[in-house]
Amino acid sequence: MLPRPLSQYATNPVAYNQEHSSSASAPGDRVSSLIALFPLEVVLFPGTPLPLHIFEPRYKEMIGECLAHGSTFGVIRALEQGVSDVGCTAEIVTVTKEYPDGRLDIVTEGRKRFEVLHLNQERSFLRAEVLLIEDEPGIPAKEETARAVQLHSEILTMAGAIQDLSAADQAVLSFYLAGSLPLDLDFKQKLLALRGETQRIAALTQYLEAVLPKLRRSAHAREKAGGNGHAR
């Protein structure tokens, strides 16, 4: 479904609600209260950290309220027209710096996925009535998970990076793997919306297997370039 401008949601919120309320809601999903939204050109996964610099007055107001009440807010991908249908709540883990003019540096972490049911523009910042998303039952085969971890490790090695997965929640391991890689945002958004870890591990494995050949060629070219910056 193509996204619509926020202005259209505001003038016809019922239509938005009707179109999205039937979109594969699982029996275990729970209805949340109205939450604040922070549209960004990112896709946040549960368990993934997200540092933010808060400088716009409306978001200083929003974050101030979250800090005062200990509440979360929703991070949702901003599109050319409107926002995505699925986002992730973010908890403020720490305030790393406060500026004299009210700006803030904060570190947040993804918590719960949600589906937008109804957008609300009554405040200076965007809010939404959302449906919290719960995974469907099912555990991927160990072989499938091991393959995804292997591909992930190879990509990190080529980038000269490592990631400790010992503390990762195995029920949502796919989010830890995808969250540490600079993957295509469209794919990340698709992964965020999938309702089971088996589906996500399969999708992530397929995606990484598709991009790895190009990454290997690029890494090989860099090795051949040596110190002169040109492949021989």
Domain boundaries, the chain: 6-132, 142-225
pLDDT reported for residue 20:
39
pLDDT at 66 over 90: yes
pLDDT at 113 over 50: yes
Q: Between 214 and 174, where is the model more confident?
A: 174
* Phi, psi (degrees; rounded to nearest 5) at 36: -75, 145
Residue 70 to residue 93: CA distance in whole angstroms: 10
* Phi, psi (degrees; rounded to nearest 5) at 22: -100, 10
Category of 203 on φ-ψ map: left (φ > 0), alpha (ψ -120 to 50) or beta: alpha
Q: Is the pTM of this model over 0.95?
A: no
CB 26, CB 133: distance < 8 Å: yes
* Residue among 165, 158, 199, 175 nearest 113 (CA): 175
* Phi, psi (degrees; rounded to nearest 5) at 110: -65, 145
- If one counts every other C-beta atom within 10 angstroms of the C-beta of residue 18, the result is 12
Local structure of 176: helix, strand or coil: helix
Q: What is the average per-residue pLDDT within 54-70? A: 98
DSSP code, position 31:
E
Local structure of 70: helix, strand or coil: coil
Give the amino acid at 199: Q
pLDDT band at 70 (very low <50, low <70, confident <90, very high): very high
Q: What is the average per-residue pLDDT within 117-135? A: 96
Q: Give percent of the chain above pLDDT 70.
A: 83
DSSP bridge partners of 105: 53, 97
pLDDT at 120 over 50: yes
CATH numeric code, 6-132: 2.30.130.40
Q: ∠ CA 159-165-168 to the nearest 5 degrees?
A: 135
pLDDT reported for residue 227:
53
Mean pLDDT in the chain? 86
pLDDT reported for residue 185:
97
